[in-house]
Amino acid sequence: MNTRTQFDSWSSFLNAGQAIVRAYSPERASFILTADQGISVISCSIPAADTNPTKDLFDRLRDLKAKYSSPWLPGSLAPKESAFENAKQFVRTMPLMQIVNPSIHVAADGEVTFEWKQDKFHIDLGFYGDNTFSYYATKIGQEPLFGDELPVEQGIPQELVAVASVV
């Protein structure tokens, strides 16, 4: 017996049973999924998210790279290509469903910086293009956190995820 059921979110669909992505339609920005639930097969089309956090951050990095490809202030330094690559590599390690996207900026000394600034916490994290990153974080009621020359491949430290978590 086949039934069609409408779900309002990914989680409600996935909680209904074992789900398998059967097709993706980029022109309709939707997924066709099926789940086996006893003797029924449930199919639904759930629109893809309006935004993709990883793509948004990659787009911002691309735009900054183009804008700051040469020094823009007297005495400033353009970020190295490797600083942008390190930042992209780091984005791939971020649990973007657990934390808010950072603001991304370029400093006059050539550093590519990620900044999370909320009422209760502030994180400043940066890349110079040497395959390392540094950070400083504060949160109300906690001691400041910091790290220096950490390997980019290590990814975002769990203590920063805990500070910036939205879940």
Percentage of the chain exceeding pLDDT 70: 69
Same domain, 112 and 39: no
Query: What value does the mean pLDDT take over residues 75-83?
Result: 96
pLDDT of residue 41: 43
Instruction: Please name which of 144, 136, 157 lies closest in space to residue 94, comparing C-alpha atoms.
Output: 157
In the structure encoding, which two tokens stand for residue 145, read together? 């956190």
If asked whether residues 21 and 57 sit together in one domain, one would say no
Tell me: pLDDT of 2 over 90.
no
Based on the fold, state whether residues 144 and 90 are members of the same structural domain: yes
What is the residue type of 105? H
Domain with 108 in it: 53-164
Residues 65 and 136 in one domain: yes
Do 59 and 120 belong to one domain?
yes
Residue with tokens 């490809």: 69
Query: pTM (2 decimals)?
Result: 0.69
- Stretch 1-21: mean pLDDT: 53
Give the side-chain half-sphere CA count within 13 A for 142: 16
Q: What is the pLDDT of residues 124-139, one digit of tens each?
A: 999 999 999 999 999 9
Q: Which helix (H) or strand (E) holds 152?
A: none
Q: What's the pLDDT score for residue 24?
A: 43
Total domains in the fold of the chain = 2
Residues 6+ apart with CB under 8 A from 36: 17, 18
Residue 50 confidence (pLDDT): 59
The strand ranges marked E within the chain are 2-4, 18-25, 30-37, 40-47, 103-106, 112-117, 121-127, 132-139, 145-151
Q: Based on the domain organization, do 124 and 73 belong to the same domain?
A: yes
pLDDT at 28: 45
Residues 159 and 77 in one domain: yes
Confidence of residue 6 (pLDDT cuts 50, 70, 90): low
Q: What is the pLDDT of residue 139?
A: 95
**What residues form DSSP beta bridges with 92?**
none
Can you tell me the distance from the alpha carbon of 36 to that of 38, in angstroms, rounded to the nearest whole number?
A: 6
* Three-class DSSP category at 19: strand
13 shares a domain with 87: no
95 and 159 in a single domain? The answer is: yes
User: In this structure, are 30 and 74 located in the same domain?
Assistant: no
Q: How many CB atoms lie within 10 A of CB 85?
A: 17
Same domain, 97 and 17: no
Q: Same domain for 58 and 128?
A: yes
For a pLDDT cut of 90, what percent of the chain falls above it?
63
Instruction: Please compute the mean of the pLDDT values over residues 78-93 and round it to a whole number.
Output: 96
Q: How confident is the model at residue 80 (pLDDT cuts 50, 70, 90)?
A: very high
Averaged pLDDT score across all residues of the chain: 81
Question: Using one digit for the tens of pLDDT, what is the confidence trace for 147-167?
Answer: 999 999 999 999 999 999 876
